[in-house]
Amino acid sequence: MRSTFLGAATLCALWAGCLAAQSGGIPPEWEVRKQMTELAEHVQRFGPVLDQIHAEDWVKKGAPQAYVTQLANTRAQIGYLVGSTKDLAAHPERMTTALDTFFRMESVDALLRSVVAGIRKYQNPAVAEMLAGLIADTSADRDKLRQYLVDLAADREQQFRVMDQEAQRCRAALSRGATPASKTATRQEEHH
């Protein structure tokens, strides 16, 4: 009887796992890897432009010292974003990695927009326009990442819903199957 119970429980768990794996909506892993590689390549284009920026000279022209720190933070965040895209390419199923990548992308975007304003005011409007153009070029990457995150979350919600339904169904089936067996065992004990 115990082996029947364990067999039924195992079968229910496998069935729930199979149903959860049949989800659709999110792009295949190879496509996510390709998108993350493209995003990393696009983000790395900021580096040469940022190398032309000399925030220390801006301070001499009256700019706040915060621009120097902000520029250093921007460079660091770009490095972290590139690392995060590599992590997501390696593990596209991880919601936390997708969130980390998206939030880093949003952070880099906000930092760069502020740097563009500083470049425009304290250095060279042409360099500011070049950087603004690169930011615009990454907007499609950001939109793809956001959509992937939404699709991944929807997929996980669906998997949890299916697993919960299957778990409930399995519990009900097991409880129906366990009740007659226990009554039979009780009756057999009474006759002995």
Contact between residue 49 and residue 74 where contact means Cβ atoms under 8 Å apart: no
In the chain, how long is the greatest CA-to-CA distance?
Answer: 101
Q: Encoding tokens for residue 63? A: 């700019």
**Nearest Cα to 171, choosing from 6, 7, 3, 9?**
9
**Nearest Cα to 23, choosing from 121, 162, 123, 119?**
162
* d(C-alpha 4, C-alpha 11), whole Å: 10
pTM comes to: 0.72
Q: Which residues contact 152 (CB under 8 A, 6 or more apart)?
A: 26, 93, 95, 98
Residue 143 burial (C-beta neighbours within 10 Å; 0-12, 13-18, 19+): exposed
The reported pLDDT for the residue numbered 172 is: 86
* d(C-alpha 166, C-alpha 169), whole Å: 5
What sign results for the dihedral spanned by CA atoms 155, 160, 163, 169?
Answer: negative
**Nearest Cα to 19, choosing from 185, 164, 140?**
164
Contact between residue 108 and residue 70 where contact means Cβ atoms under 8 Å apart: no
Please spell the DSSP secondary structure of 89-115, one letter per residue.
HH-TT-HHHHHHHHHHHHHHHHHHHHH
Q: So where are the chain's domains?
A: 2-191
Q: Which residues contact 4 (CB under 8 A, 6 or more apart)?
A: 177
The reported pLDDT for the residue numbered 178 is: 57
The reported pLDDT for the residue numbered 173 is: 86
- Each residue's pLDDT tens digit in the chain (192 positions)? 444 444 444 444 444 444 334 445 888 999 999 999 999 999 999 999 999 999 999 999 899 999 999 999 999 999 999 999 999 999 999 999 999 999 999 999 999 999 999 999 999 999 999 999 999 999 999 999 999 999 999 998 998 898 988 889 888 888 887 554 445 555 555 555
